[in-house]
Structures are given as C-alpha cells and as structure tokens.
Amino acid sequence: MGQFQVLKNHAPIVSSLDEGVITILTAEGEHEVYDEESGAIKTETQSGKEYLFKIQKGFIEVLKNEISLLVQGVNQA
C-alpha cells in the first residue's frame, strides 16, 4: 500500500493496485497513447506530458522498460 514511482531500468514487478490516482508523466522518445476520440492508439513524442486517472482497482506490470496497466473504473482525475 502507498505510492511508488517507476523510472527507466526499474526492476521487474507485478503488483495489484487499490483505488487511487495514477499519474503518468511522459519521458523523451516515442510512446503510445489511446486516442479516445478516434478509438485508435497513436504514437506521440512530447515529453513532460502528464496524464491523471482515478481508478477503482487494477494491476501493474513493469518489464524491460515497458509498463502495462490493467484497471477497472477509470475516470479522468
């Protein structure tokens, strides 16, 4: 329970997530985001962009500098 941060070359981890806010801050380089308007995944390169989501619960996996989130009850925070 509590907060944690994932930086480049983080050790592999799989963890459950409780209700709370997820903050995603983009780094340099390419990253993929879901475009709600078009329903497609698009590639962006803007660093320093912040995404905030409130979730009910879920899971996170960090492996080889890639993060996967599986969450329920997502709302913009």
pLDDT in tens, 15-56: 999 999 999 888 888 888 888 889 999 998 988 889 898 999
Q: What is the per-residue pLDDT for 58?
A: 95
With tokens 């390419």, the residue in question is 30
Supply the pLDDT for residue 1: 65
Cα dist from 34 to 12, 39, 42, whole Å: 24, 7, 6
Q: What is the pLDDT of residue 26?
A: 85
Confidence of residue 13 (pLDDT cuts 50, 70, 90): very high
Q: Against a cut of 0.75, is the pTM above it?
A: no
Distance CA 54, CA 73 (A): 8
The closest of 65, 59, 69 to 12, measured between CA atoms, is 65
Are 14 and 55 spatial neighbours (Cβ–Cβ below 8 Å)?
Answer: no
